[in-house]
Amino acid sequence: MPVGLSEPEALLPIAGVRWGIAAAGIKYADRNDLALMEIAPGAATAAVYTRNAFCAAPVTLARQHGEAAATRYLLINSGNANAGTGEPGMMAALDSCAALADVVGCKTEEVLPFSTGVIGELMSVEKIRNALPQAYADLSAGNWLKAARAIMTTDILAKGVSRQIEIGGKTATISGIAKGSGMIRPDMATMLAYVATDADVEPALLQRLLQQAVDYSFNSITVDGDTSTNDACVLVASGQAGIAFASEADAGYGEFAAAVIEVLQFLAQAIIRDGEGATKFITIDVSGGSSKAECRQVAYTVAHSPLVKTALFASDPNWGRILAAVGRAGVEGLGVDKVSIHLGDVRIVCDGGRDASYTEAAGQAVMDEEEITIRIDLGRGSARAQIWTTDLSYDYVKINAEYRS
C-alpha cells in the first residue's frame, strides 16, 4: 500500500472549471478512462511538458495548440500513451481534438490532448469519439475526484488536494490532481497533473509560477530514473474569485504562490508515496554544495543507486552504499574529509569515514521506519537541494515485468 497516503474524500470545486468522465474502453472494458476538463472563457492556462526527445504525439500537439489559441478544453485518456506512433499517432491526436470540437462547438486548436499508458500502440480515435458525448454530458464542477481516478494507470490511489487562502478579505481556492507511479524522473517527472485556481493571474506570470512550482515539486522526485514520453502539468487560472495578480509585487501574491507550490509539492510527494512497489518514502537532503545543481547531482546519484534502493527496501543500514554513491556523483574536487552523512538524526559518516559514535543498532532503528531522511553535507558551500524517492522492491519488478499483460 502507498506509504503514508490516503485517497482524498473530496476536492473543492473551482469556479470556471468543470470535469466530465467517460468509459471509452481504451484498454479495459467498463473502466472510466477518459477525462474532459472544460475551462471558462477568459481563463489563463500555463503548461510544462516532458523533455524526452521521443515525446508523445499528444504532447507535441498540445504544445502547438497552446501557442495557437486560448485553451477551452483538456482531453485526457488513460490506457494508451499514443507515443512512438509516428505520423499516424499525430493524426489520431488531432482527430481526437477535432472530434471533441465538433461535440462542444469550439475550435480544434482550443483543445489540448493528453495521454498515458502503453507506449507504441496506435490510439483508437473511434473509441474516444464514441465516448465524448458521455463525457460532455457528465461535466460538473464536483467531478475532480472522478477525474483523478480516470487518469490512473498503475496508481493504487487517486491523488488530489485542495487549498484555500484568504487575500484581501476574499478567498482563493486551488485544487489539483495527478497520476504517476512508475517511470518517474524529472525533465518533468513521469506523470500528468492538472491544477486550477479561481484567482486571476496574468498569463506570463502564471507560466513563471508554474515553472517555479514544478522545480520545487515534480522536478524533485524520482522512482526509477526514467523520464516518460508523456509528462505534462497544466495550471489554469479561471479568474472568478475577484482576486487578481498582474505581477509578483502585487499584495498577497507571495502567499498565493506559496499555496500553489504547496499543492504541486503535495501531488509530487503523493506520486512517490504511491510509487510502484514502494514500501518507503525517502527524502534526500543535500546541503553544503557549491551550487544547487551540484547538490541535485549528488541527490539523484544516491536516489538512483540500485544498491542503495534495495538496501532501503531490506531496511539494511548498509551505509557504505550511500557513501559510495556520493563519491561517484562526479563532484569535481570533492573533499571527502569534509563530507558528513546522516540517516535521520544518526550521523554515519564524517572525517572521511564512519562516525566514531555510530552503532549498527542506531542505524537499524532509522532504517526500520517507513519514512527516512538521508542528509548529506558536502562541506564546500551554501547551496542546498532536496528530492524525494522510493526504495526498490520485489513488487516494482513484478509490476513492470507484467505491465503489458
Sequence-ordered list of residues with C-beta below 8 angstroms from that of 222, at least 6 positions apart, any chain: 184, 185, 186, 189, 300, 303, 304, 387, 388, 389
What whole-number distance in Å separates Cα of residue 121 and Cα of residue 164?
A: 41
What whole-number distance in Å separates Cα of residue 203 and Cα of residue 43?
A: 9
Sequence-ordered list of residues with C-beta below 8 angstroms from that of 238, at least 6 positions apart, any chain: 14, 15, 16, 17, 39, 40, 42, 43, 196, 197, 198, 200
Element (H, E) at 320: helix 319-327
Give the count of beta carbons closer than 10 Å to the beta carbon of residue 129.
Answer: 17
Instruction: Name the residue among 252, 197, 227, 191 with its Cα closest to residue 53.
Output: 227
Buried b (16+ CB within 10 A) or exposed e, 233-245: bbbbbbbbbebeb
Which is the catalytic residue, given 190, 197, 229, 389? Answer: 190
Tell me which DSSP letter residue 134 carries.
Answer: H
Which of helix, strand or coil describes residue 249? coil
Alpha helices in 105-202 (DSSP H): 125-137, 144-150
What whole-number distance in Å separates Cα of residue 362 and Cα of residue 264?
A: 34
Bridge partner residues of 73 (DSSP): 38, 111
Our measurement of the distance from residue 102's CA atom to the centroid of its chain's CA atoms, rounded to an integer in Å, reads 31
Which of helix, strand or coil describes residue 372? strand
Dihedral sign (CA 107, 37, 258, 270) = negative
Which of helix, strand or coil describes residue 282? strand
What whole-number distance in Å separates Cα of residue 86 and Cα of residue 74?
A: 22
| Residue 229: active-site member | no
Secondary structure of 24-73 in HEC code, one letter for each residue = CCCCCCCCCCEEEEEECCCCEEEEEECCCCCCCHHHHHHHHHHHHCCCCE
**Active-site residue numbers?**
190
